[in-house]
Structures are given as C-alpha cells and as structure tokens.
Structure 1
C-alpha cells in the first residue's frame, strides 16, 4: 500500500474511533453504586447491609463543623447555612438545633394527640385541663412567654412541644444562641442528610459543593472555617484524590510509553500506530458493556482499561517481528496462532466471571473479552495495512545480540523451579498473620485523622452507632410498627440498666395505627371536652372563647383516620421515618438505631426474646466479602482447568503446554509469597491483579516458546518482550506508588508478576539457541 493510502486509512480509522467515542459518550450512563460489585445477599443481615449501604440514612449523612470565630458569629453562620440549605432540593434534612416545631408541619398539628404518649396515662378531664391551664398562666409570666403564647389557644397542654422535645435526641449537643455546639463551645455543629444515595458519587459531590458554596455566602467577610465528614464527604475526597493521582500517573505513563516506543523502534510513527488497536479495544469494550447492561459502573471502566493493558502487547509483537523484505500481512500471519492462543486463553479466565453472579464482574468480563478480541483483530487485519514494509528489523542490534548470548548461558532448571514453587507455596500458606482481608474499612484511603475527627463529631452530636442496628421484621408496616413498640419497652429496660444510652425507632415519630386508635378512643366527646374546659377556664384569667382552636383540633383528631407513612410525604418526619421503616418484597422492616451501646451481647439476648435481631453490620460486611471471594475463587479454579485444556489443545503437546503454563503458575505462588512476607492481607483486588499478571505471564511464555531455536526469531521475540514488559512495568510500578489502597494493591501485584513472569519465562519456556551456518 502506498504511503498516501496508508495515511488515509489511518485517518479513517481514527475518525471512526472519534465518532464511536462520541456516540458511546452520549449514551453512556456511569454508575457509582458499589453494590453492583457485591454478590447477592443471602442472609437477612447481608440484605440489610446492602440496603443500608446504598439507601440508608447513615450513608446520606454529612456532619458539618464550623470553627475559627467567636460562638456568636458561628451560631449566626450556622443559622444562615441552615436556612439556605433547607430551601435546596438536594437536602432532605438540615439540623443545627434551631427550633423543633419545624419537624411538625401545620397540617399535621391536629394529629398531635394521636402521636403524643400523653393520652396513654392522662385523660382530658376537668382536673387535668385545670392543671394545664394554670401552668400556661405561669408560663405567660415567665421568660418562655414568647415561645408559649402563640401555642396556647390551640394547644393549652403544649402537646406540640412535648412531641418536639421527644424527637430531640437525649444526647443532643449543647445549644448556644439556638445552634448546636460541641462540649467546648468552640465549634458549631450541623447534621445534613442528602437526597442522593450514599453510592451516588455525582450526587454526593454536588451536595458537598452546595454546602461549601452556601457557607461561603453565609460567612461573607467574617472569620470562620467549614469542615465536613461522613460517607459522602469521604467519597468526594477519595474521588478527588484518585482523579489527581490518575492524572499525574496517566501523564507520566503516556510520556514514558511514547519515549519507550520511539527508543525501541526509532520510528516516530510507531507510537501513533500502536495506540490505534488499544483505543479500539477500549471503545469496543465500553460500547459492549453499555449495550448489554443498564448503566456502566465506574469501577468497570477503571479496571477494564487497566486489564486490557494486555492488548498493548499485540501490536508490539507485530512491530518487533516485522522486517525488511517481508510483507506486514505475512509477518502478522506467522504470529497469529500464538497471538490467538494468548487472546483465547486470557479471555477464558475472564469468561468464568459470568458464573460469579455479580453484576460488576460480569461487566468486567464483557469489557475485557470484547476489548482484547477487538485489539487482536485490529492488529491482525487492520494494522498491517498501515505499517511500512521496510520497517527496521529489531534483530539487527548489537545490544540484543549480547543480551541473547548472555541469556543462552542461563541454565534451564527444573528441580530448582519445583523447589521454588514448593517454598513459595509454603510461605504463602504458613506466613504469620491473616491470609485474607475481610474488613472493608481497612481498604479506605481516608486519613486516619479524618476518621478520628468523624468519630468525635458523631459523639458530640449523639449520632447513632454505625456498626449495630436492631432489625424488626413484620408482615407489613403496621405489624412492624407494633412489634417495634413492644420492643421499645424492653429497650427502655436496657437503657435503665446502662447497656445503651439512647435508641431511635419509627414509632417515636409515627405510632402504629393500633396505638393511634387507642389514644383516639381516650379523647372526650366535644360536649364533654367543652364542659371540662369551661371548669378549667373559670379558674383562670383566660376568656371562655380563647380555646376554640383547641376544641376544633381535638374534634378533628377524634374523627381522623390514623396517620400512615404516606401522610408524612414532604415533611421532615418523612425523612426520619423512611430511614427507620421500609417495605419490600411483601414484608416490612423497622430499624432501631442505637447510641452508646456498651453491652451488645446483653442487648442481643434481650431483643431476641422479643423476636427482633441485633445486627452487627461489620460482621455482615465480612461475611459478604467471604461469600464474594468464594465465588471468585471458584470462577478462577474453573478458569485454571479450562486454561490448561485450551493451551494443551492449541500447542498439541503436553511438554510444550507445561513450558508455557509453568512460569505463570510459579509466578502466582511467588507473588502470594512476596505479599505474605510483606504482611499484606489479600483482598479481591489482589485476586483481580493476579488474573492480569497470569495473562501477561501466559503471553510472555507463549512467545518465548513460539520463538523456537531460531536465532533471529529469538532476537525479535526478546526485543518484543523487553518492550512489552518495560511498558507494563512502568504503568503498574507507578500504580504501586499510589496512596489509594485499591490502586496500590493492583500495582504492586502486577509489578511483581511482570518481573517474575519474564524471568521464569526465560528460564522455562525458551528453547536453547541453535547456531545457523
């Protein structure tokens, strides 16, 4: 093909990639819900964990502190911030200690007699009403008059305030000028609940930005500083740090790879041509996932582009084997059986993820398999048309010749390799310390100081325990509420015993219909209430008609239907109840959050007698990790069997198959031993990295074996594998320097794999050199 035609074809290929990228970007829906990378929950505790992680109030809660100014200034800033965010649809709750009546909207005020526990022990008779009216007379002559006076005509028993106070946590922080402050009185505190779910990184990022912007306006030119903690704030911080690290790692990688390719081939076209199959792989994989799945997870994209890094080796093998006098299509045709064997074998490993039952892993499998296939086909059928047939022959290199001569002197041990495998296996199995890491919190890159600050703010605010929660199951919402009310009696006993400081449950905000009807039955008839009220008013300075609104509200409460969750829509009460009560799949679950739990075993036994469960969310998360890992290990075991069969069939010889598979198998043991010696507890990300390292090892060994004993073919193969391993080493060594545990785990694991696979491939898979006449 003439140079002009090659340029035109390259431009057409690039244009197609740009159009495909534009089309995919338009229809791509990225998801940040980590639950897609979790196995299906099997136990009630695991189901509760999955629901709470994504949708629970704890995952939506941002804790805000204001400091750096006098208390009066901080209180004013707190009130201004609350006022601004309360009007923002991105937030469902903004609490700073200001007032309490806002949680009880006007349209629900008549229902206060059905929600308040007063009628459980009192009746609205003449004696009780006389006592309450006299108390209001005293209140109107006290400093509290401004608060009480607007309520008296409609609510002489102050049931509204009784409810507002009961909805305040017993461990609420102190108030200064109506705003929450820490014990030292130096930091103003706010609790803000986002509408976005915990696993919605975009929503959480918008919420965090909105809070910062609103505070900047509220603060103005006055002193003060804002800080945020909580799952959403941490996810935004992690996302920002990951983006910054990915940016500089990507920049260094790109420059390094371009320089490496230019040095390796002394041709400025090669870096550009080599990028086309890789770009094709990425877009093909991304497009396939977008087509087959409802939303593409961000982890799929990140992992996918890392895993198809194997595809960068395909054009390199072709470039290194191309030489003057041989048509490019002839060169790639000679490589194709070995290249195809590597592609098929690697894809087999990822295909086993389809039996994992995990949506995220299935996405990852589709991305990788389609991407590798696209890169291989592009290298086989498209790339040769763009390459100059007179490309410099890499075999013509004095350095390579000296290196090949040195390599030829290396022994090809078998017994020593067997001993190495046994020693590595023993170290991996018997090194001290846990083998697996099951604690998801240990994987967080959040600064320990930030976690400590979060714990301190939660303690100041009296926020619920994030580890333990009580779950009450019911046939429906009403059944769950009644069961939770009965459980509340037992929990009051636990609080008296000092086993916990406080608890919060849905019936505190919305009693069951059974309880509401019982209170309704205790309300007097309009005639009886008016007679009792006349007696009470006669002994007071109030006019006889001042309490008409009270009479109307009681009559409304007597005739009203009991409140149900749907009646709370659009109110702050809805937020509180929705976080503690849910209905799914024909049953309802009520949660009881705990504060200051000091005797979990005793509380667990107590609630069990009431038919409820104390759920340890940490234990549930660990059991979920174990279940996830078991599925992945089963998939990898199946992949190993299929891989052995595929390589044996492709090579047609057990001895050749052994030489190709042995470096990969021994390298896996060496990596495990190295990680265990370093005290690393293995995670799922190490397993994914082991698969990637195994794919690289298979590729190296296949091409060492393919080179046979021909001198020039060995030189070209050595050149190709040196370039491939150097490029991969650069990418993953930089990842190994990351502060993000997930990226570091992948980087370190693959870096070890590249070095070990290359060395063991040389020792095991290469043929002895045969001198030619």
Structure 2
C-alpha cells in the first residue's frame, strides 16, 4: 500500500470512529445509580440502605447556611431565597422555619384537622370543652397574638390547626429569629432543601445546586454574605467535579507521554497517531456493546472501563517494536498473533468471571472490557498493519538497547527455590502485619475533606437533622398496615425521650394517622344537632355571637363524613414530603420508618421496638456487611479467573514448564502487591481487588512475550524494547493516579503501578531465556546505534 493510500485509510478509520462515536453518544443513557454496583440486599437493613442510597429523602437533602451579614439582613435573604426556590421545579421542599405548620395543609384538607389531631382521643368535643376554649379565645384576642388568632376563630375556635402546626415542628428545631431558622449563635440563617432529583442523579443535583447559587446571588444583592451548601448531593457534585478534573489532567498527561514516548521509541510522528487508533476503537466498541445490552450505562463503567482497557495501548507497541527490514507488517503481525492472542483471550476469560458476581455494574464492566480488548487485538492484527510503513530499521540493532540487555542479563534468574522463598515472605507480611486487612467503611472512600464533613455535621446538629446511622423500621403488607403498626410506638417514644435514650424522633403517623385511627376519630365527633347545642351553650356565656361559628360547624360535619386521608391525597403538599420520606411503599409491602436524633441508648430503644414488631436498624453495620458480601463475590470471581486464566495459558502453550514460568511472575506479583500495600498500612478495598486483574493481565502479556522470544537474542531485544515502552507508558499513568486525592483513583493507581514494576522485573528474572551476548561494540551493533 502506497503512503497516500495509508493516509487515506487512516482518515477513513478516523471518520468511521467519529461516526460510531456520534451514533453511540446519541443513544447513550448514562446512569449514576450506585445501586448497580451493589449486590442484592439480603437483610432488612441492607434493603433499606439500598433504597435510601438512591431515592431516600436523606440522599436528596441539602443543608444551607447564610452568613456574613447582620441577622436581619440574613433573615430577609433567607426568606427571599425560600420564595425563589419554592417556585422552581427542582425542589420538593424548601424550609427555613417560616410558616411551616399552617401552610402545610391546603384549604381543601383543613376540615381533616379533626381526624389528624389526637386532641379528642381522650377529650370529647362537648359544651364544657367548647366553653373553656372560647373563654381562652377571649383572652387571646386581648393579647399581642390577637391579630394572628382572629382570622382563624370562625372556622377553628379550638385552634386545632395551630396545635397540629406545633406538633409538626421538628423535635430539635433550631431557634427562630425574625421568623426564620438560625444557629444557636444567631450568626447563620439556616435552610433545609429537598431536591426532586435522586441522590444518585449527578446531573439533577448539579442543576439544583446551580439554581440555589443563582437564587442566592439575586437574594443577597449587594450584601457581602456567603452561602454554604452541604449534604450528599453537594458532596457528589464536588466529588464528581474533582474526579473529572483530576482524570482529565491525568488523561492529558497520559496522552502527551504516550505521544512523546512513541515518538522517541520509533522516531516517527506517525507511530503515536496510528497507535492510538486501536485504543479509540476498543473504547467505542466496549461502550456500544454495554449500551446495546444494558438499560443505561453506569458512569463508573465508563470511567473504570477505559482505565482497564488502557492495556490495549501495548498491542500496537509490540507490533511496532517487532518491525524489521525485509519483513512486512502483515507478516510481523501474523508471527505475533499466537502470543498476543493468548494474552488477550486469557484476560477476557478472566473478566468473564464477573458475570457470576450477580452485580449489574460488574457485569457491565466485564462486557465493556472483554469487547474492548478483543476489538483492539483484532484491529492490531487485521487492520493496523495496513497503516504501518515498511520498517527502515530493526530495534535489535540498537547499541543502547544491547547494553541495557547486557546489564539486565547479569541479573540472577530466579528458580523454584527463590520464587517460593519470596512468595513465603510476601504471604507472611500479608497475614501477620497488624492492622485491619479490609476496608469496610464506605465513608473512607469519599474524598470529601474533613473540614467539609465537620461542617455538614455542624449544620445537621443545628437543624436537628435525624441520626444517619440508626433508624427504626416497621414492615407491613401495605401503607395502612405499616401506619397502624407504627402508631403502637407513639406512647413509647416520648417515654424513651424522657429517659434520655433519644433526643427526638419523627414518624409518618405524626402527620398522617392510619385509616383505622381516622375512622375512630370520626366516630367520636358529635353529630350536627348535638354539636350545635353544645356550641350554643358554650357561646351563651361569652361575648361571641351565636352565629359566629357556622364555618366551624360545617368543618366538623365535613370531617364526620369525609373519606379517610391516604398518602396519595397529600400529593403536591408540603406534608407529602414528610410522609413520603418516612413511609416507603415498594410494590407488595410498605415500611414505616422512625427517624431518631440524639440516640444514646440503642439497646433500650431496640428492646421497645421489638415489642411492637419493629427493628432498630444499624445502617453503618448494614453498609459494612454489604461491602463484605460484595468483596466475597469479587474474591470468588478472582479465584475463578485465576483457574480459567491458567487453563487458557495451558491450552496455548501445552508445556508444564512454560506454563508455570509464564504464570509465576503474575502470581508472585499479586502477592508482592498485597504485601507492599499491607506493609504500608493500606486497608484493601474493592478497587484494589479489581485492579489486581488489570495488573495480572499486564504481567501475563510481559511474560508471554519474553517466552515468545525464547533464546533468540534479536527477538529478546525486540521484546525488551516493546516491554520497556509499554511499562513506561503504563507506569507513569498509574503512578499519577496513585498520587490522586480521590481514594478510588489512588487505590487503582497504586495497585497497577506496583504491578507494572513487579511484573517487568519478575518477567525478566523468571521467564527470559539465557543467551550468548554479542559484544556491544561490534560494528553491526554500532551501525544501528544511530537509530536507537
């Protein structure tokens, strides 16, 4: 193929990639739902944790603090911010303490106050009670509160609506200044915002935060006040932004290093350009396969998948390094294919084991990686040779490379005894170094700064937010059954608070009693005739006119005959936010939750809850057990991967000695990586484990190519050249990841960087064959020095 045709073919390849990228991008549905990377929940606490992670109100809650101005100005800004955000569709609830009670119930539901309030459970609505209430109202009208009470008297002389408003106030509500919430010091105006976007929706959370900041800029005007936004959504946006920035920086450096190293290694500007085509093809193929098979592609699949298939940049490097005059690129690719194909097939088989994990995210990752690796290998074998110019030189003639090989050849080769001793020492470190082996705490994987976490805890304390670790759960076949069961706790919870076991609590039955309770309250209400007589008797001894309370009589009569309220009737009201967050309805069952604040005696609370058929759930323990179960599945997949990988190498090599020699560096590297991490006090997490597969794949490639070289010195030099270029590009990328501030990236980077270094050294010490060395100063060698 002529140079012009090669250029034309490369442009055609690029055009097809661009077209494929556009087609995949237009159909791609990215997901941020972390539950796709979680195993199936088994316990009630795990099921609740999985639900809450994605859709629970806790994951949607944003906490806001305004500071930097005088309290009056901050209160005005808080009010303006609440008004602006309440009008925007991104938010379900915007609360700052202003008008929480009366505004929570729309006019159409006001008659239901007699079904929602417990006032008449023990006290009948009779003449004596009405007389006492009306006497109190006469006094109220002469007090400063008269202006507030007077508009309510005609329809609500007993002020039942105000009693409900008081009852619905948070148990640990912050202080109120100028009608809005403030911290105890009176320097920060506080708001609580619940977004419509789920906690796992980074785009929705980003939109909500942008809306909050925009509304604040309008509300503060020329003030010097500042805003702080905290909560899971704010953290996820910050983490996502920082991860994207660091990944982009590292990716840019990786691209520059790849270009520079390939140019230096092959003295051709074409090498880095055409060398990147298989990687781009692999990425698009993997992405397209996942998009076609699964309903939505997880963002972690894309990010981690491109990291895992980064190994495919080694494929064109091996092809470039094995070029030599007199051998066409097609012939070179054909001779490398058995070795390259064995490595690719073995790695793909290893990733197949992710399908036994039962975790959707890992299955997506397996599809992405397998399709990507296979596509890159096939592109390198059957397409890339068409773009490669006939080799003007052979890297095996390089004097510098020969000197490097001579120096490396002096390293002692490791036999069975040496390998066994190193493995035993590594195992001893892994097993006997003190400290926790596994990292079960998901919180340690977050890169949120300690100062931000402390700030979040401070805001939660000021707002009286519930405990995020413990929660009471009561199961029922439907919402009604769950509400009835939770109502049995209503007499017990105040006693627990009095004993100091808890500081506060909240449950859906505070806002919406069960249908059974509402029916009982309806039966207690007097009929129209008896209520009219009781009211007339009570009004006679007061300054009020007898016809002043017609609306009250109508409301009570409507309450007597109204259908009971259900959660569906609260839709589009502020009450729905409270009820929906504490009454989870999932298909064939419902769960009533009781959130707790200031839990000091879990044992006492658990004992009371068990009496009424509920459970006190420890979500921290649930998360740790879920991580442990996930890890068990990954370890099972890794063990199965090791067996299949060994089987694939055996089928390819059919020699026990060669198989053991090829697998030994990879196995020993795995032990050494774990030993180094343990020796440095690193607690191992899931990302370390998954990264071990990538490190193993790299080690297998290095060992297979050194085995392929045999004792042919020229082939050994070409393999050394390829492996040096491969390992340098990979090492630099993952070493940069290892320096990241993102724990996940750091875990991946450290694991693979160690793997590259150990695999390179061990492949040389175990797999390379001894060969007679030529003098580095021979004329033939010097002739090729200029091309090194």
- The alpha-carbon deviation at position 763 of structure 1 amounts to 0.2
From 579, 585, 599, the equivalent of 1:583 is 585
- Output aligned runs, 1:139-218, within 5 Å: 139-218=140-219
Rounded to whole Å, the distance in 2 between the matches of 1:646 and 1:569 is 59
**Residue aligning to 2:27:** 27
**Residue aligning to 1:615:** 617
SS, match of residue 758 in structure 2:
helix
Query: CA 1:617 to 1:391, structure 2 compared with 1: closer, same or farther past 3 Å?
Result: farther
Rounded to whole Å, the distance in 1 between the matches of 2:610 and 2:279 is 57
Structure 1 unpaired stretches of 5+: none
SS, match of residue 39 in structure 1:
coil
From 630, 637, 652, the equivalent of 2:632 is 630
Rounded to whole Å, the distance in 1 between the matches of 2:146 and 2:16 is 76
- The alpha-carbon deviation at position 392 of structure 1 amounts to 3.2
Rounded to whole Å, the distance in 2 between the matches of 1:772 and 1:76 is 86
**Residue aligning to 1:97:** 97
**Residue aligning to 2:694:** 692
RMSD: 1.0
**Residue aligning to 1:524:** 526
- The alpha-carbon deviation at position 565 of structure 1 amounts to 0.7
Rounded to whole Å, the distance in 2 between the matches of 1:82 and 1:772 is 81
SS, match of residue 488 in structure 1:
coil
- Output aligned runs, 1:297-696, within 5 Å: 297-414=298-415, 415-696=417-698
- The alpha-carbon deviation at position 525 of structure 1 amounts to 0.7
Rounded to whole Å, the distance in 1 between the matches of 2:411 and 2:26 is 54
- Output aligned runs, 1:756-771, within 5 Å: 756-770=758-772
Say whether the 8 Å CA contact 1:140–1:149 is kept in structure 2: yes
What's the CA shift string for 1:94-119, capped at 9, x where partnerless? 11000121111111100000000111
Rounded to whole Å, the distance in 1 between the matches of 2:317 and 2:391 is 16
- The alpha-carbon deviation at position 606 of structure 1 amounts to 1.5
TM (normalized to structure 2)? 0.97
What's the CA shift string for 1:465-505, capped at 9, x where partnerless? 00000000112211111110002222222112110011101
Count of residue correspondences: 773
**Residue aligning to 2:113:** 112
Say whether the 8 Å CA contact 2:406–2:773 is kept in structure 1: no
- The alpha-carbon deviation at position 391 of structure 1 amounts to 4.2
- The alpha-carbon deviation at position 772 of structure 1 amounts to 8.1
- Output aligned runs, 1:187-336, within 5 Å: 187-336=188-337
**Residue aligning to 1:85:** 85
Say whether the 8 Å CA contact 1:265–1:392 is kept in structure 2: no
Rounded to whole Å, the distance in 2 between the matches of 1:497 and 1:293 is 53
**Residue aligning to 2:42:** 42
Say whether the 8 Å CA contact 1:710–1:770 is kept in structure 2: no
Rounded to whole Å, the distance in 2 between the matches of 1:223 and 1:649 is 72
Rounded to whole Å, the distance in 1 between the matches of 2:94 and 2:119 is 28
TM (normalized to structure 1)? 0.99
- The alpha-carbon deviation at position 89 of structure 1 amounts to 1.1
What's the CA shift string for 1:346-404, capped at 9, x where partnerless? 11111000010000000000000000000000000000001001343222211101011
Rounded to whole Å, the distance in 2 between the matches of 1:650 and 1:602 is 64
What's the CA shift string for 1:544-595, capped at 9, x where partnerless? 2221111110000000011011111111111111111122242111000001
- The alpha-carbon deviation at position 405 of structure 1 amounts to 1.1
- The alpha-carbon deviation at position 79 of structure 1 amounts to 0.4
Structure 1 range deviating more: 597-606 or 734-743: 597-606
Say whether the 8 Å CA contact 1:323–1:390 is kept in structure 2: yes
Structure 2 unpaired stretches of 5+: 776-788
Say whether the 8 Å CA contact 2:31–2:296 is kept in structure 1: yes
- The alpha-carbon deviation at position 770 of structure 1 amounts to 3.9
- The alpha-carbon deviation at position 224 of structure 1 amounts to 0.5
Rounded to whole Å, the distance in 2 between the matches of 1:536 and 1:640 is 86
Matched, 1:751 2:750: no
Rounded to whole Å, the distance in 1 between the matches of 2:288 and 2:184 is 55
Rounded to whole Å, the distance in 2 between the matches of 1:567 and 1:731 is 56
Structure 1 range deviating more: 145-154 or 271-280: 145-154
